[in-house]
C-alpha cells in the first residue's frame, strides 16, 4: 500500500513539474513557473522516498514452504519394514566379514 502511494505521489509531482515547464509565459511569470516546477520535482522526490520506504518495510512477501505430504500408513509401514530389513542385511554383512 505504501509503495503504491509513493508511486502515485511521485508520478503526480513529476507531471506537475513538467506541466509547469511546458507553459509559455512572459519573463516575469516564468520565474514563478520555475519555482512551481521545482516544487513538483520535490514532490516527485518525496514520492520516490515513500516508495523506497514501502519497499524496505514490505520486503519480499514469501510464504512458508509447503508442508511435505504425509504418506499413507501402508506406505509408511512398508518403508519402515524395508529400512529394518536393510539394517539387518548390513549387520549380516559385517558379521560375515569378520
pLDDT recorded at residue 27: 72
Domain ranges of the chain: 2-59+71-97
pLDDT recorded at residue 11: 82
Q: Are 40 and 17 in contact (CB under 8 A)?
A: yes
pLDDT recorded at residue 72: 81
DSSP string, the chain: -HHHHHHHHHHHHHHHHHHHHH----HHHHHHHHHHHHHHHHHHHHHHHHHHHHHHHH----PPPPPPPPPPHHHHHHHHHHHHHHHHHHHHHHHHH-
pLDDT recorded at residue 40: 85
Q: Tens of pLDDT along the chain (98 residues)?
A: 777 888 888 888 888 788 877 777 777 787 788 888 888 888 888 888 888 888 888 766 666 666 667 778 888 888 888 888 888 766 555 555 55
Q: Is 13 exposed, middle or buried (0-12, 13-18, 19+ CB in 10 A)?
A: buried
pLDDT recorded at residue 51: 86
- Cα separation, 36 vs 97, in Å, equals 91
pLDDT recorded at residue 92: 52
Amino acid at each position: 500500500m505504501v509503495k503504491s502511494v509513493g508511486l502515485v505521489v511521485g508520478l503526480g509531482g513529476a507531471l506537475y513539474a513538467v506541466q509547469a515547464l511546458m507553459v509559455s509565459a512572459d519573463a516575469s511569470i516564468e520565474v514563478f513557473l520555475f519555482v512551481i516546477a521545482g516544487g513538483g520535482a520535490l514532490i516527485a522526490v518525496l514520492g520516490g522516498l515513500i516508495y523506497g520506504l514501502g519497499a524496505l518495510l514490505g520486503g519480499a512477501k514469501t510464504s512458508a514452504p509447503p508442508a511435505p505430504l504425509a504418506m499413507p500408513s501402508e506406505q509408511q509401514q512398508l518403508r519402515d519394514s524395508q529400512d529394518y530389513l536393510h539394517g539387518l542385511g548390513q549387520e549380516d554383512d559385517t558379521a560375515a566379514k569378520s
